[in-house]
Amino acid sequence: MNEPNSVIAPIEKGWNELNALVDLLGEEGLMLTGDDGWAVKDHLAHVAAWEASLIGLLDGSDRAAAMDINASDDEDTDSINAAIWSLHHDQTPAKAVEYFRETHSALMSLLGKMSDADMQLPYNHYQPNQPRDPSDDRPALDWVAGNTWEHYAEHIDWINQLIKDKSAAR
C-alpha cells in the first residue's frame, strides 16, 4: 500500500461544495438551463466525464473511451466538451447525478491507492500508448487538479451564475 497522498483533501473539499449545491437544487433545479443550452445537470455530466477521463489517464486506458466519446488526439477541448454534452444532454437529472456520483466514487477509489510520488510522475508514464509531446514532463498532479478541485470551482461558479441569472429573470 502506498503512503496517502495530499490530493484527497482538496478534492473532497471541492466535491463537497459542488455536491451540496446539487442537493440544494434538487431535481427541478438541475434543469435550470443557461442561454448556452447547458442545464445544471449537463454541468454535472461534464464534470463526471472529465473525471472518467482522469481515471483513464491514471489507469493507462484510452481517455476518450473512458469518457465514452470518439475523440482524436488533435481534437480541442471545446470539441470534446460538445461531444460530452451531446452524449449526456438527454439524460434525466437523476441519471446525470448517478453518473456524477458513481464516477467520483471510482476516481476516489483509484486515487486512494496512489501516493504523492505517483502524482509527480509525468503524463506519459501513465499513457505510454497515447503520449503527449515528449518534452511535456508535467506531473499527473496537474491533470488531477485540473479535472477535480479546479474544475469543480469553475462549474460551481457557472452554476451559481446560472441560478442568479434565472432568479433575476423572474
Average pLDDT of the residues of the chain: 93
Radius of gyration of the chain from its Cα atoms, rounded to whole angstroms: 16
pLDDT interval class at 3 (50, 70, 90): low
What tens digit of pLDDT does each residue of 51-109 get? 999 999 999 999 999 999 987 755 789 999 999 999 999 999 999 999 999 999 999 99
Q: Is the Cβ–Cβ distance between 59 and 106 less than 8 Å?
A: no
pLDDT of residue 45: 98
Q: Is the Cβ–Cβ distance between 41 and 31 less than 8 Å?
A: yes
pLDDT of residue 4: 67
Q: Whole-angstrom Cα distance, residue 114 to residue 35?
A: 40
Q: What is the DSSP letter of 69?
A: S
pLDDT of residue 1: 45
What tens digit of pLDDT does each residue of 20-60 get? 999 999 999 999 999 999 999 999 999 999 999 999 999 99
pLDDT interval class at 170 (50, 70, 90): low
80 φ/ψ angles, rounded to the nearest 5 degrees: -65, -45
